[in-house]
Amino acid sequence: MLDNFDWFQEARKGFTVPIDVVEARKNFNAVVEAMNRKDLEFWLSFGTLLGAVREHDFIPHDIDTDIGFHVEDKEDVVNVILSELMEKGFSFPRLNNCLATVCRSGAYLDLYWFQPVVNEATGKKGLSCNDYIIPDDGFVKTYFAGQSVNIPVKAEVLLEKWYGTDWQTPKRGVIATHGW
């Protein structure tokens, strides 16, 4: 019974405490520097992408930081990046089929691996993680938390799909929706 118990999800159940933006920025910069040293392509995703586009910073009421990368880089992230981060005081509370979570000083950062997919109805290519789809249109650079980082091309269209037509209005507790 306890073998299938998800301690991480239980610990974060109802977790609504906003991240400490100072700690989130430190953790984000440590992860970005590690990814850059390994020359891995990554991008801002989910609420972090929303914050970068809408507020040009972390969303004050967000609970974590979200970074996406290609599934073919998963081994490097798990074996190299996470080891390096652990040496810097990060804990590693979650690893599953779609993401790894790291945490330091109470600031969580999720690393999502996206795999290539094709929409059978349209033939459109994308990147998918747990049915969250990013159109495979490439990435553009933006400046976020002191770093030059990738965001998906047409990020505003993606944010509208994930968060609705009113994505530019700050709201607490909204979670991205799935699909194309």
Confidence tier at 178 by pLDDT (50, 70, 90): low
**What would the CATH number be for the domain defined by 17-163?**
3.30.460.40
Q: Is the pLDDT of residue 8 over 50?
A: no
Q: By the 8 A CB rule, do 145 and 102 touch?
A: no
Lowest mean pLDDT among 2-11, 56-65, 67-76, 78-87: 2-11
**What value does the mean pLDDT of the chain take?**
87
For residues 133-154, give the mean pLDDT: 94
Given a cut of 90, whether residue 42 has pLDDT beyond it is yes
- Among 13-22, 23-32, 125-134, which stretch is predicted with the lowest mean pLDDT? 13-22
* pLDDT reported for residue 141: 97
Tokens coding 102: 């790291």
Can you give the residue ranges of every domain in the chain?
Answer: 17-163
Residue 137 exposed, middle or buried by CB count within 10 Å (0-12, 13-18, 19+): middle
pTM: 0.87
84-94 b/e with 16+ CB inside 10 Å = b? bbeeeebeeeb
Residue 154 has pLDDT above 50, yes or no: yes
Residue 177: pLDDT band by 50, 70, 90 thresholds?
Answer: low
